[in-house]
């Protein structure tokens, strides 16, 4: 995982990620969103723990690609930047 997304300050409350049950068909899409959200707030590790997926997980690529398309359409540059970084993460 890129150090750019690791929360250096270990103080403060743990972030909560709202996710459906793992057997829910929408879980992977929610997990992709949670990983990007975690990266945005400097809590990639917490998002990885909550979702059970690592940053750059190949299984989540289709969901992150969809998020990227939507972010670009909405001109959400920060979310688009995070999605691109996710997709460029070496395996």
Q: Which DSSP category does 12 fall into? A: S
Helix, strand or coil, per DSSP, at residue 83:
helix
Is residue 15 pLDDT above 60, yes or no?
A: yes
Token output for 41: 């707030």
Task: For residue 4, give both structure tokens.
Answer: 């750019």
pLDDT value at position 21?
Answer: 97
Q: At residue 6, does pLDDT exceed 80?
A: no
Lowest mean pLDDT among 5-19, 37-51, 69-83: 5-19
> Higher pLDDT residue, 89 or 39?
39
- Cβ atoms within 10 Å of 58's Cβ, excluding its own: 10
Domain boundaries, the chain: 25-88
């Amino acid at each position: 995982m890129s150090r750019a997304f690791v929360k250096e300050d270990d103080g403060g409350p743990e972030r909560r990620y709202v996710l459906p049950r793992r057997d829910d068909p929408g879980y992977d899409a929610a997990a992709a969103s949670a990983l990007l959200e975690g990266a945005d707030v400097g809590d990639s590790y917490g998002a990885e723990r909550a979702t059970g997926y690592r940053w750059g997980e190949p299984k989540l690529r289709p969901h992150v690609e969809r998020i990227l398309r939507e972010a670009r359409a909405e001109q959400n540059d920060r979310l688009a930047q995070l999605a691109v970084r996710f997709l460029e993460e070496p395996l």
